[in-house]
Amino acid sequence: MRGAGCGVRGAMTGTVPLSAYLILSAALFAIGVIGVVIRRNALIIFMAIELMLNAVNLTFVAFSKFLGSMDGQIIVFFVMAVAAAEVALGLAIIIALYRNKESVNVDDINLLKG
């Protein structure tokens, strides 16, 4: 992968190298994963998932620019639309739960166990 980036980098002198974007987005993705795993508030977990999706979007745009193909940027639009739908739905579900339960802490969501 680094090879692909280096090949194009020569033509794009003076710009930020591809590897920088990849490292940043990998770090964001990792922060998102850690957030999902360790945070206990449903809203924060939700934000962490959004962070993961946006890390992926950043990678798509970076690849799209460096590969000179538009496909990546098109996909980002779709991912953003889907993420928006998911957020709308997620908040609705969290509100429905909060009405019955008065809590958004996932540790309190323990009716189902086994």
Partner 1 sequence: MTQAFNMADLSTALPEVVLSLVAMVILMLDFIVPKGRRDWLGYLSVLGVLLTLMVLCRQWGATQSAFSGQYLIDPFALFFKILFLASGGLIILMSIGYLRGEGADSGEFYALILFATLGMMLMASAVDLLILYIGLETMSICIYVLAGFLKRERRSNEAALKYLLMGGFSSAIILYGIVMLYGLTGATGLKEIASTLTADTLSNPALILAMVMLAAGFGFKIAAVPFHMYIPDVYEGAPTPITALLAAASEIAGLVILLRVFLVAIPGLQDRWALLFYVLSLLTMTVGNVVAIAQSNIKRMLAYSSIAHIGYLLIGVVAGRELGISATLLYTVVYALMTLGAFAMVILLCVGEVKGERIDDFAGLAQRSPMAAAAMLILLLSLAGVPPTAGFVGKLYLFGAAIERGYILLALIAVVNSAISLFYYMKVAVAMYMRDLPPAGLALSPSRPLRVVLFVTVVGTLAIGIYPGPFLDLAKSSIAGLW
**Footprint of partner 1 (CB under 8 A):** 1, 4, 22, 29, 32, 36, 42, 45-46, 49, 52-53, 55-56, 59-60, 63, 67, 69, 71-72, 74-75, 78-79, 82, 85-86, 89-90, 93-94, 96-97, 100-101, 106, 109, 111-114
Which of 10, 78 has the CB closer to partner 1?
78
CA atoms within 13 A on the CB side of 88: 6
Which of 13, 89 has the CB closer to partner 1?
89
Which of 23, 96 has the CB closer to partner 1?
96
The closest of 100, 98, 79, 87 to 41, measured between CA atoms, is 98
CA torsion angle for 26, 27, 30, 32 (degrees, to 10)?
-110
CB 14 → partner 1: shortest distance, Å? 22
Q: Which two tokens stand for residue 64?
A: 């799209």
The closest of 26, 25, 20, 29 to 2, measured between CA atoms, is 20
CB 85 → partner 1: shortest distance, Å? 6
Which of 10, 111 has the CB closer to partner 1?
111
The closest of 108, 114, 112, 107 to 38, measured between CA atoms, is 107
CB 74 → partner 1: shortest distance, Å? 7
